[in-house]
Amino acid sequence: MSLRQDQIGWLLATATITLIPHFGHLPPLLAGIAAVLVGWRALIATGGRRLPHRHALSALAVGIIIAVLAEYRHFFGKDPGVALLAGLLGLKLLETRQIRDGRSVVLLSLFLQLAQFLYQQDMAVAALTLLGALGAVASLLALQSRGNASPRSRALEAGRLLVQALPLMLVLFILFPRVQGPLWGLPADAFNRVGGLSDTMAPGDLARLGESSAIAFRVDFQGEPPPSAERYWRGPVLTRFDGHTWRAGLLQLADQPSYQPQGAAYAYAITLEPHNQLWLLALDFPAVSAGTRISNDFQLLAREPVQGRRRIELVSYPHTPVGRDESGLVLRQALDLPPRSNPRSVELGRLLRARASSPADIPDLAIEHFRRSGLRYTLDPLPLGRDDVDSFLFDTRQGFCEHFSAAFVVVMRAAGVPARVVTGYQGGEINPVDGTLVVRQSDAHAWAEVWLAGRGWVRVDPTAASAPQRIENGLAAALPDSARLPLLVRADLAWLHGLRDRLDALNNRWNQWVLGYNPARQRALLSGLGFGDPDWQSIAALLAGGCAIVMGALTLWALRQRSPADAIDRSWQRFCRQLASAGLPRNSWEGPLDYARRLAHERPDLADTIAAIAADYASLRYGPGEADPDRLKRFHQSTRHFRPR
């Protein structure tokens, strides 16, 4: 059976809703191919043109395959697989002639809707997927119906079906045994697009992060959070320097820290966005919690890459002295400089060492020199020369935090003070809606650590010497060129901040209670409901029982519902009983029109009335299309007032 216009319209709408979210990560060529194919099918539907020949479709299929290979060089993985499905969806629309073809389009759409969650799992993606599912269900209803219906009534019918599925969905969500991690292995490229810090640093790296308003992590403090000046979230520690790029040194991992925590403590839970690295971005200096390790440079590390959103409860002690008994190898690495690199900065370090009465005075002298030099903090520094640090300190005199920290560490090493760069995040903004501290990629920061005899490793932030507002009030307050910042970070849009805070709070609840519903939370919920400490067998039994109860309730509800066809049959049965009481019963094998023809011979006086009622019933009950309202009203009135004698 050929498709009607309304059926094609629903299929096109479903395919469009499904493809739009994928255009953000598909290469422009493949996104354009999918859009052109869908648009082509829409033109055919509206203009009455013929569908392309199968040879043309075969050529298009080969072209899509070649385009995918040209972009990705292979077919295996998330990105090429999704791109191929997107192209095939548009291609399937161009060969859709019959109902079975339409069902294939719906099935492809559902696969692509599921694939959206391989990229993001936030509320916006869930809402788009729900809208796509509504379109898919409406398309299936249109494909199985015999008549046209308005888009509004079709959408309402699909919405009712989705609402009826909600109880079963909730039972499955709450009671399905939770498995930590995916149920199947994701392809190797599943995490190649995550952003954030790197384990290397070169001029401009953190400035690029400063232009992103994406959330890096959220923090819930138990009690008052630390002041802004102490909100240093430690990430990769970079020791090796080749004159341009900083890299991490060799790490030694332990289950317990080498320091003894002391001083003020901050207890908090941090929810990290996936970044596909091992670091966990804690305040200095944390006590190790379950599932974590700590390195010899005091980074808190996970045992496996953070490939999904992760919540960790920690306690940090920022005033703990660390590294007082540091090994000689670590200190020698923290003094190493490449030969013949940045000679002016090296000479500055030697001059500071000569002026200082002790090594402990050198960092203060360097900070004072930075302050007097008029260094400017900016997201858009001028290009640097061959010697990056010399060019920054003596020529351009403008840079971002990576310029300040790298220059400070080079000067310290030249002065004989062991030093290294620490990258991470600094600050964060309290969301007034839910009280969480939100740290964004634009809060990425780099600072320095110097080693002083008797004190160990001490944090020094040279950026604060030239841009103290960066530490106290965040990036937007410190930059004069705030127009370069993302809209959600700029300080001059209070109304947008309010909207952002509400959406962030809503997203945080979604992350904690939907995406964060893990085995531990499931057991805690069931224990709170009186099921003790259930194992997986008990949870499976509860799941089976819950599904049985929901399905039984839905079945009873469905049996009590009456459709318009039930009312038509009731009126017909009443009509037949009236005739039977007059001695004119209907045989069980007789259809309505045969019954009317027989009675026309037996009761000619009733022939016209009976024939009209029988014809209306046959058309309403068995005819194509939706019931005609005028005929339906006439049929009910005729049977109600029929009184044979």
The string of pLDDT tens digits covering residues 564-606 is: 667 888 899 999 999 999 899 999 899 999 999 999 999 998 8
Residue 545 in domain: yes
> Among 560, 582, 611, which residue terminates a domain?
560
414 shares a domain with 534? no
Does one domain contain both 359 and 316?
Answer: yes
Q: How many domains does the chain have?
A: 4
pLDDT at position 447 is 95
Could you tell me if residue 150 is inside a domain? no
pLDDT at 145: 84
List, as one string, the DSSP characters of 358-406. SGGGHHHHHHHHHHHTT-EE-SSPPPP-SSHHHIIIIII-EE-HHHHHH
So what's the pLDDT on residue 355? Answer: 94
Cα distances (angstroms) measured from residue 298 to each of 112, 316, 327, 536, 560: 43, 12, 14, 38, 66
Residue 166, in any domain of the structure = no
Whether residues 310 and 431 share a domain: the answer is yes
Domain with 618 in it = 564-641
Is 169 domain-assigned?
Answer: no
Alpha carbon dihedral 379, 380, 385, 387, in 10-degree steps, equals 0
What letter would DSSP give residue 448? E
Render pLDDT for 50-91 as a digit per residue (tens, 0 to 9). 888 889 999 999 999 999 999 988 888 888 999 999 999 999
Mean pLDDT, residues 321-344 taken together: 92
Identify the domain boundary among 560, 582, 607: 560
pLDDT tens, position by position, 216-266? 999 999 989 998 889 999 999 999 999 999 999 888 899 999 899 998 899
* 336 occurs within a structural domain: yes
Average pLDDT over residues 102-110: 94
- pLDDT surpasses 70 at 478: no
- Residue whose structure tokens are 């858009």: 380
Mark whether 317 and 465 lie in a shared domain: yes
CA distance 551 to 572: 33
Do 415 and 443 have their domain in common? yes
Q: Which pLDDT score, from 0 to 100, does residue 3 have?
A: 86
pLDDT, one tens digit per residue, over 179-205 is 655 444 444 444 544 557 888 999 888
Does residue 320 lie within any of the structural domains?
yes
Q: How confident is the model at residue 370 (pLDDT cuts 50, 70, 90)?
A: very high
Are 632 and 550 contained in the same domain?
no
- In this predicted structure, the answer to whether residue 524 has a pLDDT above a threshold of 90 is no
Q: What confidence tens digit (pLDDT) does each residue in 417-470 have?
A: 999 999 999 988 898 888 899 998 989 999 999 999 999 999 999 998 888 877
User: Which contiguous run of DSSP H or E holds residue 221?
Assistant: strand 215-221
Range with lowest mean pLDDT among 96-105, 115-124, 233-242: 115-124
Domain match, 547 and 465 both: no
Alpha-carbon gap, residue 466 to 400, rounded angstroms: 11
Amino acid at 69: L
Q: Rounded CA gap, 168 and 434, in Å?
A: 31
Average pLDDT over residues 307-335: 90
**Is residue 503 one of the residues assigned to a domain?**
no
pLDDT above 60 (res 482)? no
Mean pLDDT (whole number) for 111-134: 88
Distance between CA 373 and CA 464 in Å, rounded? 14
The residues carrying an active-site annotation are 401, 445, 461
In this structure, are 318 and 339 located in the same domain?
yes
pLDDT at 483 over 50: no
The verdict on 376 and 485 lying in the same domain is yes
Q: Which of 16-20, 290-294, 632-636 has the highest mean pLDDT?
A: 16-20
The more confident residue out of 533 and 413 is 413
Residue 455 lies in a domain: yes
**Mean pLDDT computed over every residue of the chain:** 87
Let me know whether 465 and 414 are in one domain.
Answer: yes
Residue where a domain terminates, one of 560, 583, 612: 560
Co-location of 475 and 533 in the same domain = no
pTM over 0.85: no
Instruction: Clarify whether residues 554 and 570 are in a common domain.
Output: no
